Structure formats: C-alpha cells, structure tokens
Amino acid sequence: MKIEIILAIIVPLIAVPIIALIGFFLKGLLKSVQLAISKQSVSIEKLEKSQNDSLKGLDEKFTSFQLTIQKVFLTLTSVEKDLERANENLNKTNQIANRNSELIAEHKNKIFNLDNNLKQLMTELKEQEKKVDLLTRSLFELTTNCEK
C-alpha cells in the first residue's frame, strides 16, 4: 500500500508536468498548423482572385474575339454581296459589249457596202460625164454644121 500511495503522489507530480508539456507542444503545434492553414487560406483566396481576374480577362478577350469574328463574317457577307453585284454588272457589260461588237460588225458591213456603192456611182458618174461630153461635142458640131 505504501507503493500505491507513493505512486499516487509521484504519478500526478510527474504526469501533470508531462501532460502540461505535451499540451504546450500540442498548443504550439496547433497554433503553427492554424497559421499554416490561415496562410494557405489567404494563398488560396489570392489564387482564386487571380484565377477570377484571369477568367474575367479571358472572358473579355473571348467576347472581343467573338465580336471580331462577327465583324469579319459581316464584312465577308458584304464583300460576297458586292462580288455578286459586280458579277451581275460584268455580265451586263459583257452582253452590251457583245451587242456593240455585233452592231459594229453590221455598221462595218453597211459602210463597206456604201463605199462600194459610192465607187460604183462615181464610176457611173464618170461614164455619164463622158457621155455628156460626147453629147456636148456632138451638139457643138451640129450647131457648127447648121450655121454653115
């Protein structure tokens, strides 16, 4: 029994400081864990904020990119319509040019025919002049002979 009494006195005297020492270390450990968690939490919050800012930036860039794509699409659509109109105008111009070529060919033929007709008339006129000259001479001769 004496050992039990001695142990009952010594165990609390040794156990209390050991428990206090363990508590002190646990308290310090818990405090450092709490500080590490707090720092990690701040770091995570900063990371989240950075990611949110990056996402906002990416979202703005993506929206800008989408607007640019829409503008390019509208521009291409406009260019396509302009090309269609230009093609229609080109077709009309080709039709007019073809018609003008036909008219020019017709006019060339008419001018050629007129030129030939004019040459023929000139030839006939010269022949008529010769005949008139002959008639004039004949008439002159006749008048000269009648006077005698």
User: Stretch 111-130: mean pLDDT, rounded?
Assistant: 94
User: Stretch 43-59: mean pLDDT, rounded?
Assistant: 83
Predicted local confidence at residue 148, as pLDDT:
62
- Measure the CA–CA gap between 21 and 13, rounded to whole angstroms: 13
User: Stretch 116-133: mean pLDDT, rounded?
Assistant: 93
- 136 — phi, psi (to 5°)? -65, -40
User: Stretch 108-120: mean pLDDT, rounded?
Assistant: 94
- Measure the CA–CA gap between 33 and 27, rounded to whole angstroms: 10
Predicted local confidence at residue 146, as pLDDT:
76
Q: Which residue has the higher pLDDT, 56 or 107?
A: 107
Instruction: Indicate yes or no: pTM above 0.85.
Output: no
User: Stretch 66-89: mean pLDDT, rounded?
Assistant: 95
Q: Residue holding tokens 């509208």?
A: 74
Q: Residue holding tokens 């990056």?
A: 54
Return all residues near 131 (Cβ < 8 A) that are at least 6 apart. none
Specify the DSSP class assigned to residue 1.
-
Predicted local confidence at residue 69, as pLDDT:
94
User: Stretch 59-83: mean pLDDT, rounded?
Assistant: 93
End-to-end CA separation in angstroms for the chain? 208
